[in-house]
Amino acid sequence: MDGMSFAGEGSRSVAGNHTNTWHSPIHLVSDDATESFEDPDAGPSRQMLDNKPGFLDWSTEAPGQRVAYDDLTAIDWIHEYTIEQLRLRILRGGGGITTYFRVLADASQAWIVLILSGLAVGFIAAAIDIAGNWLADVKTGVCTTSFYLNHSFCCWGLQSTEQCKDWVTWGHLFHVGPAGGVYVVQYLIFILFSVIFALSACILVLRYAPYARQSGIPEIKTVLGGFVIRRFMGGWTLLIKSLGLCLSVASGLWLGKEGPLVHVACSCANILMKPFHSISQNEARKREILSAAAAAGISVAFGSPIGGVLFSLEQVSYYFPDKTMWQSFVCAMVAAVTLQFMNPFRTEKLVMYQVIFTRGWHDFELIPFCVLGIMGGLYGGLFIKVNIFIAGLRRRTWVKSFPVLEVFVVALASALINYPNVLMRAQVSELVANLFQECSATNDDILDICQDGKTAGPVSLLILASVLGMILASFTFGLQIPAGILLPSMGIGALYGRAMGMVVQVWQRNNPTAWMLRSCEPDVQCITPGVYAIVGAASAVGGVTRMTVSIVVIMFELTGALTYVLPIMVAVLISKWVGDAFDRKGIYEAWINFQEYPFLDNREEPVPDLLVSQVMTRLEDTVVIEAIGHTIASLDDLLHTQPYKGFPVVADARDALLLGYISRTELRYAIDKARNLPRTTECHFGGSALIGTVSENSLDMRPWMDHTPMTLPARSSLMLATSLFQDLGLRYLLFQYHGQLQGLMTKKDAWFILNSVKDEKRDLFSVTVPDRRTSLHSISTSPPPQSAEAIKPNCRLLQQRSLASSADTNTSLTVLNNQQPPKTAPVASFSAAVHRYLTISIEVSRMSSWIARVIIPIRTGPLLRT
């Protein structure tokens, strides 16, 4: 056992002298189930695994019995996939036509769930669009012929310059004339409805479904990474998320519905899979379905089925097998087709801001496109810093205790700022739609940005709106309401992108003979500011999320033109480079880190060069269970006195010969099932070959153990241990030397170590690490380097927190030993970010110069020669 050892999960079917007392099916519950160990509705496949006599004896190959995962714990990926393989083996083992149809019915379950989920998401998205638009228009007036119609449907067929007699503003409805302050009345009613809608959404979330708050994507990433958050995707969460999303979008706050729609889609899939026990009772298969459902959320949010699939692959999913790609595509396609069938806008568009351009772009425009990429990266890096800073203030101050008051203040401030500015008065989706439009005689110029000779005023207003929008979005994203950040980022990027396009357009008109502009035809419009809005929107989203491919595809599906893929790619690439100069984390990863969810990203930075013996919880600090010498009473006392989530099992404490591992959940369940036995009943965790003769009245605990846990030598590198946590989805690692237990590390320990390094202790890990050829004895007994010594107590204390039962998702994993989390120096961190930004900016400027000197002459060579 000196090297890494693993032979699959040990079997845990019931064995021993109390078989009749112990017999029960495997119990796995969904994330939103109640805290119950019993599951009378366990599927037949699960019962088959337990009831099959002889074939699945614990000493041969069966995965054995498991109980429900506790809230805020990690799943056992290997165990779940082992169960699935055994279930399929039994299902296919009969032969004949009956077996064929059983296998066919079993394979169709996932497709049924995905198709139904796509249909449900399409209908819900259409309902949210209709209800949200109507509530948003109620802030300005009402349709006198049919009160349930919004402004566009009430005035259907009329141009924006024509008067709509059926739509009456509140000022005219109250018979207030211009001299009587109709503007003031409209202003006050706008503020009133905005505040009411925002407060209603907040109260619904706080009272009925706290998990319906915010975007939901950080939690979805954590769940798909193998973490259990109960009630996060339940029925109440789905209902309140949908209702709250209508209200929060209609309130006029700077938020979007794209991220929350991903949460809605996953909730639909989680509810619809409940009747299918082969999926709902296997946590690994469940997460495959949820990954596919996430694509449907983006599909209906942006009208981009392919972009939704890539979003799920690039941003949300932790494990993405090949079959999940196909399942994601089907679910996203069904959702998009359903939304198209519903046609909520009656324009044959999936989303309001789908556009079609009739003009192309020119080579010299690559330079302003690169500038837009830089602006997007600056916006993304700055927004994440400001938003997390505000969230930290919210957590540390009295504001945390008054979420309703905070929503009231932000909604009031947003309404006060939005109404006087014509660009910010409408919903963000309507703003983006107008900014993406070409200036032509057939398009309505609602924002007054297409007037010839008027540039300074509109450009100033666009820049002002982008700055105000960024400030408001920084305060809004994090409130206790359903809110996304993708659409506000698109709006902010479209604002400064449109401003850039108008400036370039004026420069081209004033300098038509410049050598760079020779590709422009005379008397033909050369610059399209709407294209700059598209590129700016893509750069802003890329800077905030650090996504690349999915953003390009989403924007391509919005415009429907392959011509604009290259400028969008250039802007997104540069925005990611500049954003990474601030921090490599996107907004969702930053919130995962802020909420301190134990999510180990498999695309993280390199792990520090340390030995696991320097950071693991050593044997002397670990509570172990000996194979014999325990009774039901002593084990019960152990669970009451020790907060750990699991215990290594050894032959005896002196030799520490490793026999396996038993989790707290299984041990608690085993003791509860034996409550009819005397509390003095002996319990054993090893076979007679190790512990000698077993008493006839003893209770065999081996069925609940993991007999073959993943083990490594204590001299292994931290990089190897972290890779196993990331790639195999392990919950814990045991470290041994020739079979003797040396220590352990949990997934939360690894998460804490990596985040401590990345956040504040990079320099501490640059010290010299002991030679790997040093004997294990010297490594275990000699004092480690000062850096590891500084980290090691935190790791040990973290295990007490990470293994302890917790019912509060906001429990801080960094508040250890009754100490406040370490405070970083804002000036130092900002200076480091500025230094990295300047380094990247120099490289970007060099690349821009190279583009101007090389690419443009190549494409314009024939023109220059003529």
Spell out the domain ranges in the chain.
Answer: 19-91, 114-342, 363-595, 612-803
CATH 3.10.580.10 fits 612-803, yes or no: yes
| Tens of pLDDT, residues 840-857 | 455 545 554 544 444 444
Confidence of residue 610 (pLDDT cuts 50, 70, 90): confident
- Residues of the chain with pLDDT > 90: what percent? 38
Helices vs. strands in the chain: H and E counts, helices first: 33, 12
Looking at per-residue pLDDT, the higher value among 621 and 387 belongs to: 387
Highest mean pLDDT among 204-218, 353-367, 701-715, 820-834: 204-218
Residue 645 — left, alpha, or beta (φ > 0 → left; ψ -120 to 50 → alpha)? Answer: alpha
Q: Is the pLDDT of residue 330 over 60?
A: yes
- Residue 7: partners with Cβ closer than 8 Å, 6 or more residues away: 708
In this prediction, residue 451 carries a pLDDT of 75
Highest mean pLDDT among 190-204, 522-536, 599-613: 190-204
In this prediction, residue 455 carries a pLDDT of 79
Least confident of 101-105, 295-299, 607-611, 614-618: 607-611
In the numeric block, the tokens 């890494």 are attached to: 4
- Residues of the chain with pLDDT > 70: what percent? 77
Looking at per-residue pLDDT, the higher value among 449 and 649 belongs to: 649
Separation between Cα atoms, residue 785 and residue 796, nearest integer Å: 16
In this prediction, residue 273 carries a pLDDT of 94
Distant-in-sequence contacts of 123-128, Cβ < 8 A, 24+ apart: 123/338, 123/342, 124/242, 124/264, 124/268, 125/261, 125/264, 125/300, 125/301, 125/335, 125/339, 126/338, 126/339, 126/342, 126/343, 126/344, 127/242, 128/242, 128/245, 128/246, 128/249, 128/257, 128/261
Nearest to 492 by CA among 478, 476, 506, 481: 476
Least confident of 94-98, 182-186, 259-263: 94-98
The Cα-based distances of 630 to 147, 622, 856 in angstroms read: 73, 17, 79
Query: Which H or E run includes 169?
Result: strand 167-169
Contact 411, 195 (CB under 8 A): yes
- Rounded to two decimals, what is the model's pTM? 0.79
Q: Is the pLDDT of residue 351 over 90?
A: no
Confidence of residue 121 (pLDDT cuts 50, 70, 90): very high
Query: Which H or E run includes 293?
Result: helix 283-302
Identical fold for domains 114-342 and 612-803, yes or no, is no
Confidence of residue 39 (pLDDT cuts 50, 70, 90): very low
Q: Assign 611 to helix, strand or coil.
A: strand
| Tens of pLDDT, residues 484-538 | 999 999 999 999 999 999 999 888 888 887 888 877 887 778 888 889 999 999 9
In this prediction, residue 169 carries a pLDDT of 87
The Cα-based distances of 772 to 246, 542, 721, 722, 764 in angstroms read: 59, 42, 15, 18, 19
Q: Interior CA angle at 422 toward 384 and 351, to 5°?
A: 65
In this prediction, residue 157 carries a pLDDT of 76
Residue length of the chain = 866
Nearest to 746 by CA among 671, 666, 643, 606: 643
In this prediction, residue 701 carries a pLDDT of 86
Q: Is the pLDDT of residue 800 over 80?
A: no
In this prediction, residue 762 carries a pLDDT of 39
Tell how strand 699-700 and strand 732-737 pair up.
unpaired
Tokens of 521: 């035809």
| The amino acid at 36 | S
DSSP-derived letter for residue 74 is B
In this prediction, residue 695 carries a pLDDT of 61
| Tens of pLDDT, residues 123-166 | 999 999 999 999 999 999 899 888 888 888 888 877 766 778 88
In this prediction, residue 520 carries a pLDDT of 82
Angle of helix 366-396 versus helix 826-850 axis, rounded to 10 = 170
In this prediction, residue 691 carries a pLDDT of 52
Query: Which H or E run includes 141?
Result: strand 141-143
In this prediction, residue 14 carries a pLDDT of 31
Q: Assign 451 to helix, strand or coil.
A: coil
In this prediction, residue 23 carries a pLDDT of 34
Highest mean pLDDT among 267-271, 503-507, 557-561: 267-271
Confidence of residue 216 (pLDDT cuts 50, 70, 90): very high
In this prediction, residue 194 carries a pLDDT of 95
Separation between Cα atoms, residue 108 and residue 87, nearest integer Å: 16
- Residue 564: partners with Cβ closer than 8 Å, 6 or more residues away: 357, 361, 531, 534, 535, 555, 556
Q: Is the pLDDT of residue 866 over 80?
A: no
Residues facing 68 on adjacent strands: none
Class of domain 363-595: mainly alpha
In this prediction, residue 182 carries a pLDDT of 85
What's the Rg (C-alpha) of the chain? Answer: 30
Q: What is the mean pLDDT of residues 91-109?
A: 87
Confidence of residue 371 (pLDDT cuts 50, 70, 90): very high
In this prediction, residue 526 carries a pLDDT of 84
Q: What is the mean pLDDT of residues 795-803?
A: 40
In this prediction, residue 603 carries a pLDDT of 64
Class of domain 114-342: mainly alpha
Confidence of residue 468 (pLDDT cuts 50, 70, 90): very high
Report the chain's mean pLDDT, rounded to a whole number. 78
Looking at per-residue pLDDT, the higher value among 450 and 193 belongs to: 193
In this prediction, residue 622 carries a pLDDT of 87
Least confident of 588-602, 740-754, 777-791: 777-791
Q: What is the mean pLDDT of residues 752-774?
A: 49
